A and B are shown apart, each in its own frame.
Chain A
Amino acid sequence: MLRREQRKKRYYSIGFVLPCLVLALFVLIPFLGPSYKTLDLALKIIIFASLVASFDIMLGYTGILSFGHGMFFGIGAYCVAFLNGKYGDPTYFHLFLGLLLAVAVACVLALIVSLISLRVKAIFFAMITLALAELTIVLANKLSHFTGGEDGISISLPGIFSAAFSPGSFLGLDISGRVITYYFILLACLGLFALMLRFTHSPLGRVLQAIRDNTDRAEALGYKTFYFQTLSIVLGCTVAAMTGGLYAMWVGYVNPESTLEVMAIMLNVLLMVIIGGMGTLYGGIVGAAFLLITQTFLPDLQKLAIDLFPNASLLHTILERWLLLFGILFILVVIFFPKGVVGSAREFIARARGEAFFSS
């Protein structure tokens, strides 16, 4: 009984309250009357947090490194774009169909990828998925009559999601299509997050962690690791495709560069999961927030410096190269949070309580 109570405490303390506060913040953001830039930033954090969490299921929980995760994100985005732009109409039915198509295509493709490439281990799996991702980019660029090529596809959303929709205001908040879309995506990502949390805390999720720790041992216990790894990949990639579809809804425009590019999507996701902490899920929120906020506001620092110190030209030059500052920040985070922000914080709290630390 002591054990159960100890465990309950663990699951209903900071680890429960903090995510609730974060959620409350995201719910309130539109009410704070932010600029479009801030709203856009908040929403991208939400979407990327979910995307990173889905990547974490594969990398942090199952120990599979895939470079094809951005591909699934892009495929999801294109599915929605096809049905609400190029080949369909802006109706609710087509939107629903687009998201459904994203899920279906991702499921099938993830299954094929696993069947082909799970036979090889670790770095070879990563290479195969990278090759597939590059192939997809080439296809999206070259099959221009089908995908719109480099020009991409514009999306128009139906009814209440369209930018023109404006029924009035509520508690001082101007309800517009954008705000409704914001809440819709927030709700969808919340659902995805809940799904992933439940998945990782289920018996199946525990088996995945066992496979990550020691694949041979898991086999010797009687788990057919191949099936479990496949399931993990299918879930991770399907969620990624969903977030891609939601992303397309928000930005209203899809092209290979912004949704498929390995450097633009995949590298960021990798950085986010490292900053946030592998095998934590919540780390995705921290990682996405850190990366997107710095990428949005660091370029502004130069303007600020010119205003404040008009004569310090060296400072201006340094701040113009804001990526340099970003690199330094990233190194600092990795040094001070070796297990990612969430992972290291959990460790610190456990130590402070005098408990033996366990990672999951």
Chain B
Amino acid sequence: MNATNNNPIIAVKDLTIRFGGHAAVDQVSLEVMPFTLKSIIGPNGAGKTTFFNLLSGQYKPTGGKVFLKGKDITNLSAPMRCRLGLGRSFQLTNIFPLLTVLENVRLAIQARKGYGFNFWRHYLHFSACEDEAYQILKEVLLDEKWLYPANLLTHGEQRKLEMAILMALKPEILFLDEPTAGMSQEEVPAILEILERIKSMGDKTILLVEHKMDMIMNLSDSIAVLQDGRLIADSDPETIYRSKEVQEAYLGGGAKRE
């Protein structure tokens, strides 16, 4: 890592959100360095997805701040953050089910290029968008199905389509919420390969929420562990793997709270 990259690209300070009396995310502070892959793990209900929603702007925090490249973005809406380079995927498959596979990706490119408000030309005239969308579909091995409506794809293919949509946004920072959730064992390697490829390009920062510990150990540069909305560890994979606290959280977190 060179000298210019010593500032964190994302910094979170005392981030808190309460739903009623329950603090789903409780005073979490962490930093993400540019061009690294950070995983966020934790048992069910630890607040991982809520934390993601706070970062991508789906939720507004009760307290605390989010910084992007040193700039306070706590009060920006989700579309605004997306334009600043934060792209996110969702834990539950989140695509446009009635549109074609190609159209799903094309809309993302259109959003990035800002053609959205053009209403006097036929959308097919923007062939550059289409070609680029097709290229991305090739990369995630979905090009054969470009004319299918997205809801006819298998679950694994839909997750791939999500990755394609995300790549089409060309975000600087990728938020991936359990990209392998609900996938069959055979489909997981394909997603891992895509992740590996994105990481090896070396120009993206990736934040990954994941449940499968073994999968992220090799991929991650650092791992943060959440439990009951609190950050209990944030370190390199090796340290996390050996940490007693983390093991307890994962294996006996429920029992320990008694």
Contacts and interface: CB of A to CB of B under 8 A. Distances in A.
B124 A207 contact: no
A6 B123 contact: no
B91 interface: no
Interface string A8-39: 00000000000000000000000000000000
Main secondary structure on A side of the interface with B: helix
B94 A222 contact: no
A222 B169 contact: yes
A231 B119 CA distance: 10
A214 B94 contact: yes
A119 interface: no
B98 A224 contact: no
A201 interface: yes
Given A206-B110, A217-B96, A6 B147 contact: yes
Interface stretch (B99-107, B204-212, B221-229): B99-107
A221 B149 contact: no
B152 A356 contact: yes
Given A206-B107, A222-B82, A360-B99, A7 B124 contact: yes
Nearest to B118: A203
Closest 8 CB pairs between A and B? A222-B82, A213-B96, A204-B119, A202-B119, A221-B111, A203-B115, A222-B111, A356-B148
Contact of A214 (B77, B82, B96, B112): B96
A151 interface: no
A324 B135 CA distance: 56
Interface in B83-136: 83, 87-88, 90, 94-100, 102-103, 106-108, 110-112, 115-124, 126-127, 130, 134
A271 to B, nearest CB: 23
A337 interface: no
Interface string A189-227: 000000000110111111101101110111111111101
B146 interface: yes
A228 interface: yes
Contacts of A121: none
A3 interface: yes
6 contacts: A3-B146, A4-B130, A204-B116, A209-B98, A219-B79, A359-B98
A213 B107 CA distance: 12
A355 interface: yes
B121 A202 contact: yes
Interface of A: 3-4, 6-7, 198-199, 201-207, 209-210, 212-214, 216-225, 227-228, 231, 355-360
Contacts of B56: 220
Contacts of A216: 58, 90, 94
Chain B, interface size category, equals 35 or more
B123 A203 contact: yes
A221 B108 contact: yes
Nearest to B175: A220
Contacts of A203: 110, 115-119, 121, 123, 126
Contacts of B145: 356
Given A356-B149, A358-B99, A222 B79 contact: yes
B29 to A, nearest CB: 25
Contacts of A227: 117
B192 interface: no
Nearest to A4: B127
A359 B94 contact: no
A199 B134 CA distance: 24
B99 A209 contact: yes
B72 to A, nearest CB: 20
B78 interface: yes
B163 interface: no
Contacts of A231: 117, 119
B197 to A, nearest CB: 22
Contacts of A225: 79
Most chain A C-beta atoms within 10 Å of own C-beta, residue among B98, B100, B165 = B98
Contact of A220 (B94, B124, B146): B94
Contacts of A206: 99, 103, 106-107, 110, 123
Most chain B C-beta atoms within 10 Å of own C-beta, residue among A207, A217, A221 = A221
A356 B151 CA distance: 11
A356 B147 CA distance: 7
A210 B103 CA distance: 9
Contacts of A6: 147
A359 B120 contact: no
Contacts of B110: 203, 206-207
Interface string B150-164: 001000000000000
A347 B145 CA distance: 18
Contacts of B78: 219-220
B147 A358 contact: yes
Contacts of A219: 78-79, 82
Contacts of A360: 98-99
A10 B109 CA distance: 23
A215 B77 CA distance: 14
B107 A207 contact: yes
